[in-house]
Amino acid sequence: MTDMPLEKSPEHAAAGRLAELADQCVQCGLCLPVCPTYALDGNEAESPRGRIAIAAALARGQVEPSPSLRLPLDHCLGCLNCETACPADVHYAELLVETHALLGPAPQRPRLLLSLAKHPTWMRALRRIGRGFGLPRWKDRLARRLSPASPWRSALLNLPASAPEAPVRASKPYTEKPPLALFTGCVASVDDADAQRAAVTLLGAAGFQVSVLPAFCCGALDLHGGATASATRAAARTRQAWQASGATQLLSVTPGCVGALRRALPGVSVIDPVQLLAAHAGALRFRPLARRMALHLPCTQINVSRSEAALLQLLRQIPELQLSVLPRPPHCCGAAGSHLLEQPERAARLRDQTLRQAASSKPQVLLSSNIGCRLHLAAGIDELGLDWSHLHPLTLLAQQLEHPH
């Protein structure tokens, strides 16, 4: 079958920038061994340099943006392992965003599901209604009646059985230090509020005052999905909330939000709170915990927030904790923002590879800092019948903190 061109073709001004970014690539291939999708498929088109070649051809008008041509671009997880390995300093993150902006949203993008995910108030209300109808008891049975390629199947399997957590609140002033602001996000504000409360508790113990920004989407889902107008509106809302906060640093317990927040707030210090906590680790003491835990490091924690060393430093302060770190690259759990909804079968293959790695250490608990990763991995834990619980590392640290304020 001949591919029909997509509705949106490259515009010349943006295409010129895209060609400039693509020309940075020297096609050395050092990105191939660290690319999860290349490891999954063994296909050059599913590698960073393959995608860069496609982007360059699109930018120069050498090809039409057909569905089959854009598929490798839609398969990209945006993990940015390639940027870390690249000797030519290719700005792959920017190239990927620009290419998706030119192409527009993918046809299979589940707009209704993503709209729900981006509105925490709607999500909380629907979760309460669902619980009233007993959804946690029968969601898995309903999901398995749907096609493995269905985004609704993935959404149901990733839906936590527990009730939404209460929203996090600002801390009381402990010192005269300038206040910090915590970005709570969309899904994280509903299902990672415990981790956000843990961050406030731990930072308070280290002498910091924390204000809390309203709950809304940072725009990452739209930015990486080619929905540029929505991403631009989210960035403007982020700037408005930041300016109203009066804070000196912006924090996010979700590494997946950090890149979009930094893009919206150039010149502002946007960090993972574990980096600040590690710098003040002398003020923190933790109770012993004799348990085996596997630590999953999200791609964005390693390649965007770059906070994995700080997190390991803090976790190793818990006496008697047996901690194993999942090896990488090229491994990625496959959640990758909306990828688990748009490409659920591929996401499940990557997730199960990650869980098989974790199983080698026979953990009792799986730790992961990114809410999308953790919900995706939790769905795999249930599906594989593994007897593990899962936590955000900050939740664990706060549970073991001695004498919190």
Range of the domain at 364: 283-400
Using CB atoms within 10 Å of the CB of residue 30, give its burial: 0 to 12 exposed, 13 to 18 middle, 19+ buried: middle
Q: Would residue 64 count as lying in a domain?
A: yes
In tens, the pLDDT along 126-176 reads 988 988 889 888 899 999 899 999 999 999 999 988 888 888 877 655 555
Residue 230 lies in a domain: no
CA distance to 66, 130, 293, 396, per residue, from 241 (Å) = 39, 31, 37, 29
CATH of the domain at 385: 3.40.50
Given a contact cutoff of 8 angstroms between Cβ atoms, the answer to whether 355 and 332 are in contact is no
In a domain, 379, yes or no: yes
Please report the pLDDT score of residue 175 as a whole number. Answer: 54
Query: Within 13 Å, how many C-alpha atoms sit on residue 362's CB side?
Result: 0
Q: For residue 177, what pLDDT is reported?
A: 64
Q: Which tokens go with 145? A: 């009646």
CA 325 to chain CA centroid, Å, is 18
Q: Is residue 358 part of a domain?
A: yes
Is 117 contained in some domain?
no
Indicate the residue among 87, 103, 119 that finishes a domain: 103
Look at residues 66, 83, 103 and tell me which one is the last residue of a structural domain: 103
CATH of the domain at 93: 1.10.1060.10
The tally of domains found in the chain comes to 2
Q: Is residue 346 part of a domain?
A: yes
Q: Looking at the domain assignment, is residue 181 inside a domain?
A: no
375: tokens are: 């919900």
Q: Does residue 56 sit within a domain?
A: yes
pLDDT along the chain (405 residues), means of 10: 37 68 92 94 94 92 86 95 94 93 89 93 90 88 93 93 81 65 95 95 92 95 92 96 93 96 96 96 95 96 96 97 87 93 95 92 96 96 93 97 72
The DSSP call for residue 207 is T
Token pair 């549970």: residue: 399
- Each residue's pLDDT tens digit, 59-106: 888 888 888 889 999 999 999 999 999 999 999 999 999 999 989 998
> What pLDDT is recorded for position 11?
39
Q: Of 63, 79, 103, which residue is a domain's last? A: 103
